[in-house]
Amino acid sequence: MTTLTATDLKQMKQRGEKIAVLTAYDASFATQLENAGVEVLLVGDSLGMVLQGHETTLPVTIDDMVYHTSMVSRVRQRAYLVSDFSYQTYETPEQALTSAQKLIAAGADMVKLEGGHEMLPVIKHLVDNSIPVCGHLGLLPQSVEKLGGYKVQGRDEQGAQTIIDDAIALSSAGIELLVLECIPAELAANVTAAIDIPTIGIGAGPDCDGQVLVVYDMLGLYPGKRPKFSKDFLLEQGEGKGVEAAFKAYVQQVKEKAFPDIEHSFS
Ligand code: KIV
């Protein structure tokens, strides 16, 4: 089976076709997600919270990311595979390249990093070395202590403008995908219109080019409080329906622009 490419995802944006993304951390989930039609598997460092039981993503190591990326990559067929850099493993351009090479060797197609214009030297070095890069703006879980908690970002005029400026700068520097986390829906729509690469929203309203959720949240498996922007798709399917039905419902609702609705967005 042919694997999707970053160019395919960009063409989906151009056609106005929504991109369905979910996190995946192991082979069994990755297979079910593929079967349901998910286009991008994100090996997120959220695994530190939902798999490892940490309170934040900060304790996750690059070896953890390599381990889970190889599990997902072993069974991946059609989906595009993005892996997160773990905390403090992309502090300098050289360190980022070494970490990225480990993730790519484990099977990632693209690496994801958190941050705005301060990341430009790192992004440039990765792109110059032919490493595809995904950006991540808005709520940055690796900076949760600096941000003072898991809060919606870009609510004031200056914060919103910074996110738009960063999105344009990162996309000019060569990132090919951009995750927007926990920002007002109107701001995410403006960012999406301002750049020609796909935006993938989580808590960023319905107008992003695609949507992502943490798979344990959308199955109601994570014991912590489910965020406002997530939904329990397993519960919604009703008794007796399996995990694959929940994944299929997610893909369908993303494609039909039924998810996220106003209830699962910030204004
Ligand atoms: O680590 C992760 O799962 C992520 C998503 C929240 C986008 O980065």
Per-residue pLDDT reduced to its tens digit, 20-34: 999 999 999 999 999
Of all protein residues, the one whose alpha carbon is nearest to atom 4 of ligand 1 is 44
> What Cα–Cα distance (Å) separates residue 241 from each residue in 205, 206, 235?
27, 26, 9
- pLDDT one-digit tens code per residue, 194-222: 999 999 999 999 999 999 999 999 999 98
Pocket perturbation via mutation, ligand 1, pick of 42, 50, 82, 180 by most ligand atoms within 8 A of CB: 42
Pocket perturbation via mutation, ligand 1, pick of 84, 103, 229 by most ligand atoms within 8 A of CB: 84
Confidence of residue 179 (pLDDT cuts 50, 70, 90): very high
Of all protein residues, the one whose alpha carbon is nearest to atom 5 of ligand 1 is 44
> Nearest 10 degrees: CA dihedral of 120, 196, 264, 133?
-40
263 among known catalytic residues: no
111 CB near ligand 1 (under 6 Å): no
- Which of 39, 118, 181, 186 is flagged as catalytic? 181
- pLDDT one-digit tens code per residue, 87-136: 999 999 999 999 999 999 999 999 999 999 999 999 999 999 999 999 99
Rounded Cα distance between 187 and 191, Å, is: 6
Residue 71 has pLDDT above 90, yes or no: yes
153 CB near ligand 1 (under 6 Å): no
Query: What does the pLDDT read at residue 147?
Result: 87
Burial classification of residue 26, based on how many CB atoms lie within 10 Å of its CB (0-12 exposed, 13-18 middle, 19 or more buried): middle
Burial classification of residue 85, based on how many CB atoms lie within 10 Å of its CB (0-12 exposed, 13-18 middle, 19 or more buried): buried
- Cβ neighbour number for residue 104 with a 10 Å cutoff: 18
- Centroid of ligand 1 to alpha carbon of 44 (angstroms): 5
Pocket perturbation via mutation, ligand 1, pick of 181, 199, 222 by most ligand atoms within 8 A of CB: 181
Query: What does the pLDDT read at residue 149?
Result: 85
